[in-house]
Amino acid sequence: MIDADALVRRVALRAASENDELPAPADDARIAEAERQLGTALHPLLARLYREVADGGYGPDYRLLPLLGPGASVVGEYLARRAASVGAEHPEWPERVVPILTWGCGMYAGVDCRAEDGQVLLFEPNPYGGGSWAPCWFLDSTGLAAWLETWLAGTGWFEEDACDRDDVAEPQPWEEAEGRLSSGV
């Protein structure tokens, strides 16, 4: 079992050490507004990160998005992706998977807010060849806490030297993708 308090403290320390101008943490009203617009509660650990560390601006590579806009934000990206999915023959984005950062080139990391551990998913649109978007979804980590530990340890697939190491776990196809996309949840 993880010690969430210790994990959040370690994330906060690394975030502060890598960024002199972190955004202020999100207050309860901002988190509530984001959840209202998303139509779902944030995963509890994700909400703690926004509440106790900062409103985005830290984390792997391109860093976590702020909750609300202007510009790219968790809510803005989620609403745009869901709008493209609602009523589509082949939806691209499942409900309750909130994008937390962009990797560039249309790729996103998202947290499944309906999963108890908050599994972290990778959306990588390059495999799309028409039809189902399921081949574009990968399980990056079985939980947000484990994903954060990977970032803190510098052992993620997204690290600069990852291709030079044999111990890097690559994201695997997300087995739930087809069902979640077709059911709309």
Helix or strand (DSSP H, E) at 140: strand 137-141
* Pair 132, 142: CB distance under 8 Å: no
Q: What is the pLDDT of residues 18-49, one digit of tens each?
A: 998 999 999 999 999 999 999 999 999 999 99
Mean pLDDT over the full length of the chain: 93
Give the residue with greater pLDDT, 179 vs 185: 179
pLDDT-derived band at 185, boundaries 50, 70, 90: low
Mean of the pLDDT values across residues 76-86? Answer: 94
pLDDT at 117: 96
**Domain 4-183, CATH:** 3.40.1580.10
More confident residue, 139 or 185: 139
Residue range 93-112: mean pLDDT, rounded: 96
**DSSP assignments along 72-139, one per residue:** S-HHHHHHHHHHHHTT-SS--S-TTEEEEEEEETTEEEEEETTSTT--EEEE--TT--SS-SGGGEEE
Q: What is the pLDDT of residues 86-98, one digit of tens each?
A: 889 999 999 999 9
